[in-house]
Amino acid sequence: MKKVELTMSLLMGISLSLILSLTGTLSSGTFTFPSFVSSFLISVVISMFITRIIPMQKISSVLCERLKLQKESISGRLFETLVSDLLMSPLMTFIMVFMAYKQAVAHGARIPFGTMLMKAEILSFAVAYIAIFLLMPIFLKIALKKADKNPQSFK
């Protein structure tokens, strides 16, 4: 199971970092390739750190059990996505926005941090929710196949 969890962490971390970095740099209004790449790389490091510390699958499984949700059902998947999104995107977004804010202020920009953060949190939460919902089952199949595991054994 550790191999499956590691593969899921890598796949989800890299894909969410890519999607959220692209979303953040595009929504900033000043997209540059170097800013996207640096945002992506920093985001990958942050997401790998988060996924290694927080046992996403265990937390969502326990919560689904307590709420009597079947993980395979649509309500179970929607809830599991919400849990994963709540654990990942707010912290990643806060760190990335804080770094962007510091850089903008260092270049003379006068922007309110709170407004910048709230807009980014709302946008990234929505984008990450959709990405997690769509990608998690695909990546789980890939991880299980790579580990030669039966899909039923991970539920």
- Which residue's entry shows tokens 């804010």? 101
**Degrees to nearest 5, angle at CA 87 with 83 and 90:** 120
pLDDT at 107: 86
**Total number of domains in the chain:** 1
Report which DSSP code applies to 95.
H
| Tens-digit pLDDT profile for residues 88-143 | 899 999 999 998 899 889 988 888 999 999 999 999 999 999 999 999 999 999 99
pLDDT at 5: 86
Domain carrying residue 62:
2-154
Question: Whole-model pTM?
Answer: 0.89
| 52 phi/psi in degrees, rounded to 5 | -80, -30
For residue 63, how many other CB atoms are within 10 A of its CB?
14
Distance CA(68)–CA(53), nearest Å, equals 26
